[in-house]
Amino acid sequence: MTVTATATTPLAPSPKTWTGLLAAATDDCLAVLLKGADQDWSRPAGDLDWTCRQTLDHLALGLIGYTGLLIARPDDRYITLFASLDPQASVPACLDGLRIAASLLTSTVRDTTADARAWHPWGHSDATGFAAMGITELAVHTYDITRTLGLPWAPPDDLSAAVLARLFPDAPSGHSPSDALLWCTGRIPLPGLPRRTDWQWDGTVR
């Protein structure tokens, strides 16, 4: 699927469609990360303070965290379940762990009713919102890591457009969805728009 419109293309995927988008994001991100598995992952990921390995651990924590929130559906707090990757495991093994975490989130999104809501500090959200959060985490942190590893990669436009429509209602128009998502998440500047130093998404249901 190819999106050629601007970042403001109105998309409202159903929960079933979101499971496909999340699965596609998982496959795409893990495939490119695997290409750099034999490199030095102790270096910082892009401009982050975390190393590439620590960024993988952050991804596992986030994906499992979103899964737990959708299951527990708290009104005012994070869940108490935390997930981490074995610090002694190889990078390919860690990527397998991320695939497990993403699959758990995908299954939970698929099985969650449309009226379910769960707390998040950036807006109480539904299953589609948490799917979009998972895709955002995968996309931007894969971008961070691939910059360090020297692998040419950017978030696919179809995934970026869906995420922008769901989480970033103030996304700038006139740019590719990929560039707009990277700008919204503080990764790059755009013509006339300096790079963001502070940002967040809006997960509320609209």
The domain tally of the chain equals 1
Query: Does any domain span residue 38?
Result: yes
Q: State the pLDDT confidence band at 5, using cuts at 50, 70 and 90.
A: very low
pLDDT at 11 over 60: no
| Residue among 62, 65, 205 nearest 127 (CA) | 205
Q: What is the pLDDT of residue 13?
A: 64
Q: Rounded to two decimals, what is the model's pTM?
A: 0.91
- Using one digit for the tens of pLDDT, what is the confidence trace for 65-83? 999 999 999 999 988 888 8
Q: What distances in angstroms separate CA 142 from CA 9, 15, 170, 191, one per listed residue?
A: 24, 24, 23, 23
Range of 67's domain?
A: 15-184
Burial category of 202 from C-beta neighbours within 10 Å (exposed 0-12, middle 13-18, buried 19 and up): middle
Taking the alpha carbons of 186, 172, 106, 127 in that order, is the dihedral positive or negative? positive
Where residue 93 sits, what CATH number does that domain have?
1.20.120.450
Q: What is the pLDDT of residue 80?
A: 87
pLDDT confidence of residue 14: 64
Query: What pLDDT is recorded for position 206?
Result: 85
